[in-house]
A and B are shown apart, each in its own frame.
Chain A
Amino acid sequence: MFVTVMENKQRLFMLSLSRWIRTPVGSRLCRFASHLHRPSPTTSDTKNARIMRILGKRVQERTQLSSQLSEEMSSAADISRLKQLKESEPLQAAWDEWIRIRELLEETNALLEDSDEAMRALAVEEHQSLNKSLTELVETTVPALLIPPSTTSHLSAMLELKSGVGGSESSLFLANLLRMYLRLANVRRWQASVVSQNENDGGGIKDAIVEVKGEGAYDALRWESGVHRVQRVPATEASGRVHTSTVAAIVLPLMEETGTTEELFNMDDVKVEVMRSRGAGGQHVNKTESAVRLTHVPTGITVSMQDERSQHQNRRRAFTVLRSRLMDQKIMREIAERRATRQNLVRTADRSEKIRTYNYAQERVTDHRIGLTLKNLSSVLEGDGLEDFIGALQKDHAETVLEDMLSDA
Chain B
Amino acid sequence: MASKLFATLAASLGPAQASLEFKWMIQQSPKLQHLTDMVTRRSRGEPLQYILGESLVLSKSPNLLTSIPGSQPFGPLNLLTRPPVLIPRPETEHWVIKLADRLSASSAQPKSLLDLGTGSGCIPLLLCHLLPQGSLRAHGVDISTHALQLATDNATLCAIPPESTSKNTFTVSLGNFLSPSFPDDAKINLPYDIITSNPPYIPWDEYLQLPRSVTAYEDPKALFGGPTGLDFYHAIARLVRRKHFLRPGAIVALEVGHGQAQAVERIMRLDAHMRDTEIWSDPWGKERTVLAHL
> Does A284 sit within 8 A of B, measured CB to CB?
yes
Residue of A nearest to B92 (CB): A282
Q: Which residues of A contact B257 (CB under 8 A)?
A: 280, 282-284
Q: Measured between alpha carbons, how far is A282 from B149 in the docked complex, in Å?
A: 23
> Does A287 sit within 8 A of B, measured CB to CB?
yes
Asked whether, in the complex, the Cβ of B202 is within 8 Å of the Cβ of A283, the reply is yes
Q: Which residues of B contact A308 (CB under 8 A)?
A: 73
> Does B273 sit within 8 A of A, measured CB to CB?
no
> Does A309 sit within 8 A of B, measured CB to CB?
yes
Asked whether, in the complex, the Cβ of B90 is within 8 Å of the Cβ of A310, the reply is yes
Asked whether, in the complex, the Cβ of B90 is within 8 Å of the Cβ of A306, the reply is no
Query: Which of A282, A286, A309 has a CB less than 8 Å from the CB of B218?
Result: A286
Q: Which residues of B contact A373 (CB under 8 A)?
A: none
> Does A281 sit within 8 A of B, measured CB to CB?
yes
> Does A361 sit within 8 A of B, measured CB to CB?
no
Contact-residue bracket for chain A: 20 to 34
Q: Which residues of B contact A272 (CB under 8 A)?
A: 283
Chain B interface residue count, Cβ-Cβ cutoff 8 angstroms: 45
> Does B142 sit within 8 A of A, measured CB to CB?
no
> Does A290 sit within 8 A of B, measured CB to CB?
yes
In A244-268, which residues have CB < 8 Å from any B CB?
none
Residue of B nearest to A278 (CB): B284
Q: Which residues of B contact A288 (CB under 8 A)?
A: 17, 20-21, 48-49
Query: Which of A278, A287, A307 has a CB less than 8 Å from the CB of B213?
Result: A287
Residue of B nearest to A282 (CB): B91
Residue of B nearest to A306 (CB): B20
Q: Measured between alpha carbons, how far is A286 from B120 in the docked complex, in Å?
A: 14
Asked whether, in the complex, the Cβ of B258 is within 8 Å of the Cβ of A284, the reply is yes
> Does B72 sit within 8 A of A, measured CB to CB?
yes
Q: Measured between alpha carbons, how far is A206 from B65 in the docked complex, in Å?
A: 33
CB within 8 Å for A312 and B73 given contacts A284-B202, A306-B20: yes
Asked whether, in the complex, the Cβ of A310 is within 8 Å of the Cβ of B202, the reply is no
Q: Measured between alpha carbons, how far is A228 from B17 in the docked complex, in Å?
A: 31
Asked whether, in the complex, the Cβ of B49 is within 8 Å of the Cβ of A282, the reply is no
B269 shortest CB reach to chain A, Å: 22
> Does A401 sit within 8 A of B, measured CB to CB?
no
Q: Which residues of B contact A285 (CB under 8 A)?
A: 89, 211, 214
Overall SS of chain A's interface: loop
In A305-324, which residues have CB < 8 Å from any B CB?
306-313
Query: Which of B206, B223, B284 has a CB less than 8 Å from the CB of A281?
Result: B284
Residue of B nearest to A289 (CB): B90
> Does B57 sit within 8 A of A, measured CB to CB?
no
Contact code string B64-108 (vs A, CB < 8 Å = 1, else 0)? 000000001111100000000011011111100100000000000
Asked whether, in the complex, the Cβ of A274 is within 8 Å of the Cβ of B93, the reply is no
Query: Which of A283, A286, A306 has a CB less than 8 Å from the CB of B200?
Result: A283
Inter-chain contact total with CB atoms closer than 8 Å? 94
Residue of A nearest to B48 (CB): A288
Residue of B nearest to A198 (CB): B19
Q: Which residues of A contact B19 (CB under 8 A)?
A: 199
Q: Measured between alpha carbons, how far is A272 from B98 in the docked complex, in Å?
A: 14
Q: Measured between alpha carbons, how far is A283 from B76 in the docked complex, in Å?
A: 21
CB within 8 Å for A286 and B49 given contacts A281-B258, A281-B286, A308-B73: yes
Asked whether, in the complex, the Cβ of B206 is within 8 Å of the Cβ of A282, the reply is no
> Does B282 sit within 8 A of A, measured CB to CB?
yes
In B190-213, which residues have CB < 8 Å from any A CB?
198, 200-202, 206, 210-211, 213
Q: Which residues of B contact A273 (CB under 8 A)?
A: 283
> Does A150 sit within 8 A of B, measured CB to CB?
no
Q: Which residues of B contact A278 (CB under 8 A)?
A: 284
A311 shortest CB reach to chain B, Å: 5
Q: Measured between alpha carbons, how far is A283 from B255 in the docked complex, in Å?
A: 10
CB within 8 Å for A284 and B210 given contacts A308-B73, A311-B90: yes
Query: Which of B17, B202, B284 has a CB less than 8 Å from the CB of A277?
Result: B284
Residue of B nearest to A312 (CB): B75
Q: Which 3 A-B pairs have the closest CB atoms?
A: A310-B73, A274-B283, A280-B258
Seed contacts A283-B214, A286-B49; 10 additional CB < 8 Å A-B pairs: A197-B23, A281-B91, A282-B92, A282-B255, A286-B211, A286-B213, A287-B211, A288-B21, A310-B72, A310-B74
Give chain A's interface residues, CB within 8 Å of chain B: 197, 199, 272-274, 277-278, 280-290, 306-313
Chain A to chain B contacts (Cβ below 8 Å), 25 pairs? A197-B23, A272-B283, A280-B257, A281-B282, A281-B288, A282-B89, A282-B92, A282-B282, A282-B288, A283-B198, A283-B222, A283-B257, A284-B206, A286-B47, A286-B49, A286-B213, A287-B47, A288-B48, A288-B49, A308-B73, A309-B52, A311-B90, A311-B93, A311-B94, A311-B283
